């Protein structure tokens, strides 16, 4: 489930079962065709299957990817729920917060304006209202938070839709201020203040850390940590978290620090992208804390245990962990090789499970997983189309890849993958 430092006002909702532009690709002969999500090694270099048209189903999907469109340099953005065939099954359009400015060298990247539960996606409406969108297109008000034009809200809803954790953040002449709370979703009852952060202006002791609620695990809250010096602007990529904290919702007691100390949260392309966390854990870089290009990429659980070593962190392209713990990335990392030895084929997608890797027939850049079987991929064919660099477009073409049978569906809208419904975190 994703968090948000973003504001907007809902102007319309729509139910859409049309699927213009969607395609399905048959599996390559080199791809494992078992319906199981377990991946297996393949020694044969893959080729792209030939696209064939498909007709979108009329029934409502039981799960969906959350794809955001038009929220960079635009007065409105749209939250889309996309099913496994690439069709938009429900959407809602919102106004962005008027204080946002285009990202530049002096601003950080905002987190996504959404949070996913087991049944809904939640998003901010205006400065303080949280609304929901369900797979059947229904929408409504879920919470009223103490946000304003100058106080931005970051929030995360528990998977069972019962609680909401949120932080209210402001920047001013006195520096950065943050108050973090948790309360019952819908009623606002049982509000508890968890912690307060007060940080002086840059150059006068300022430059501390903001903590944003980004998910829940085993009833506890996960916070992503970012530098608090700069105000945040909307960008076309996930936020570059430095580390994560897990805290009790009853009193804010910190239970653990993930990707901290001798390691850092793994980032791609000079610190502009971190992978979506899942219920299993998150990717961390273990090694030199000051040099992001040195170290080993490791899958770490929310208890702090190192579950699996992936390879050289310097070779890793955008990567993501599935709910069951499989790691997917564009295949430059060689499993188990010494540092500095990267494989070729940066657009070839590699899926790694328990130390065994397989290269998929589909190519592109990994954005995340819908579930343990389906991978969401940026279908850019070269670096100039890559949205995570300044010269690239803000919204790429997306594909949904079934890693079990090799089928690939083109998503009907261009945008950024922000999470999935249902979500286990």
Question: What fold is seen in the domain 10-421?
Answer: Methylamine Dehydrogenase; Chain H (2.130.10)
Q: Measuring CA to CA, which residue among 141, 185, 142 is closest to residue 162?
A: 185
Strand order in the sheet with 129-134: 114-116, 120-125, 129-134, 139-144
E-strand spans in 72-219? 76-82, 88-95, 108-109, 114-116, 120-125, 129-134, 139-144, 152-157, 163-172, 175-184, 192-199, 209-217
Q: Measuring CA to CA, which residue among 81, 54, 20, 49 is closest to residue 405?
A: 49
pLDDT above 80 (res 351):
yes
Collapsed DSSP state (helix, strand, coil) of residue 408: strand
Measured distance CA(45)–CA(52) in Å, rounded: 22
Contact 353, 326 (CB under 8 A): yes
Angle at 373 between CA 26 and CA 162, to 5 degrees: 140
Give the DSSP H/E element, type plus range, for residue 410: strand 408-410
DSSP code, position 126 = B
Q: Phi and psi (nearest 5°) for 320?
A: -150, 150
Place of tokens 């290269």: 359
Predicted confidence at residue 416, as pLDDT, reads 82
Most confident of 44-48, 293-297, 337-341, 350-354: 350-354
Q: Measuring CA to CA, which residue among 348, 313, 356, 312 is closest to residue 329?
A: 348
Contact 163, 249 (CB under 8 A): yes
Rg (CA), the chain: 20
Predicted confidence at residue 30, as pLDDT, reads 31
Q: Measuring CA to CA, which residue among 376, 358, 359 is closest to residue 367?
A: 376
List b or e across 198-229, with b for residues whose CB sees 16 or more CB atoms inside 10 angstroms.
ebeeeeeeebbbbbbbbbbbeebbbbbbbebb
Cβ neighbors of 369 (< 8 A, separation 6 or more) are 276, 278, 320, 321, 322, 323, 326, 328, 375, 376, 420
**Domain ranges (residues) in the chain:** 10-421
Measured distance CA(329)–CA(206) in Å, rounded: 36
Measured distance CA(416)–CA(190) in Å, rounded: 34
Tell me the pLDDT band of 111, cut-offs 50, 70 and 90. Answer: low
Q: Averaged over 171-197, what is the pLDDT?
A: 91
pLDDT above 70 covers a percentage of the chain that reads: 66
Collapsed DSSP state (helix, strand, coil) of residue 313: helix
Predicted confidence at residue 52, as pLDDT, reads 36
Measured distance CA(5)–CA(8) in Å, rounded: 11
Strand order in the sheet with 282-286: 263-265, 282-286, 296-300, 306-312
Contact 404, 36 (CB under 8 A): yes
Choice between 77 and 278, residue whose per-residue pLDDT is larger: 278
Choice between 355 and 328, residue whose per-residue pLDDT is larger: 328
Q: Averaged over 301-322, what is the pLDDT?
A: 85
Lowest mean per-residue pLDDT among 201-205, 224-228, 368-372: 201-205
Count of positions (residues) in the chain: 425
Residue 77 structure tokens: 């953005």
Choice between 395 and 52, residue whose per-residue pLDDT is larger: 395
pLDDT above 70 (res 316):
yes
Distance in angstroms between the alpha carbons of the first and the last residue of the chain: 5
Cβ neighbors of 381 (< 8 A, separation 6 or more) are 347, 363
Collapsed DSSP state (helix, strand, coil) of residue 314: helix
Please tell me the pTM assigned to this model. Answer: 0.81
């Amino acid at each position: 489930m994703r968090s948000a430092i973003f504001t907007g006002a809902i102007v319309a909702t729509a139910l859409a079962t049309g699927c213009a532009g969607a395609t399905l690709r048959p599996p390559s002969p080199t791809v494992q065709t078992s319906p199981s999500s377990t991946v297996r090694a393949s020694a044969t270099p893959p080729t792209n299957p030939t696209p064939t048209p498909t007709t979108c189903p009329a029934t409502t999907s039981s799960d969906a990817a959350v794809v955001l469109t038009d929220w960079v340099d635009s007065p409105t953005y749209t939250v889309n729920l996309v099913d496994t065939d690439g069709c938009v099954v429900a959407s809602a359009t919102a106004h962005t917060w008027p204080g946002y400015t285009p990202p530049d060298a002096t601003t950080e990247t905002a987190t996504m304006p959404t949070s996913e539960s087991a049944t809904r996606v939640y998003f901010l409406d205006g400065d303080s209202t949280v609304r929901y969108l369900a797979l059947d297109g229904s929408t409504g008000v879920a919470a009223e938070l103490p946000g304003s034009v100058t106080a931005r809200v970051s929030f995360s809803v528990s998977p069972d839709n019962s609680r909401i954790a949120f932080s209210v953040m402001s920047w001013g002449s006195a520096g950065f201020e943050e108050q973090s709370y948790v309360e019952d979703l819908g009623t606002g009852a049982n509000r508890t203040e968890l912690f307060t952060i007060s940080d002086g202006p840059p150059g006068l002791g300022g430059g501390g850390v903001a903590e944003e609620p980004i998910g829940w695990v085993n009833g506890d809250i996960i916070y992503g940590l970012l530098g608090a010096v700069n105000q945040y602007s909307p960008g076309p990529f996930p936020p570059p978290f430095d580390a994560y904290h897990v805290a009790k919702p009853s009193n804010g007691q910190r239970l653990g620090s993930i990707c901290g100390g001798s390691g850092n949260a793994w980032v791609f392309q000079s610190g502009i992208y971190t992978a979506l966390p899942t219920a299993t854990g998150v990717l961390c870089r273990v090694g030199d804390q000051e040099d992001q290009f040195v170290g080993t990429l490791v899958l770490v659980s929310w208890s702090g245990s190192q579950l699996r070593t992936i390879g050289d962190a310097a070779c890793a392209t955008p990567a993501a962990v599935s709910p069951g713990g499989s790691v997917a990335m564009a295949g430059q990392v060689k499993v188990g090789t010494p540092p500095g030895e990267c494989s070729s084929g940066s657009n070839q997608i590699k899926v790694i499970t328990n130390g065994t890797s397989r290269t998929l027939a589909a190519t592109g850049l990994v954005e995340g997983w819908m579930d343990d079987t389906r991978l969401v991929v940026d279908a850019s064919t070269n670096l100039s189309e890559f949205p995570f660099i300044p010269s690239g477009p803000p919204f790429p073409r997306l594909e949904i890849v079934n890693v079990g049978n090799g089928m690939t569906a083109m998503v009907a809208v261009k945008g950024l993958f922000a999470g999935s419904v249902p979500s286990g975190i």
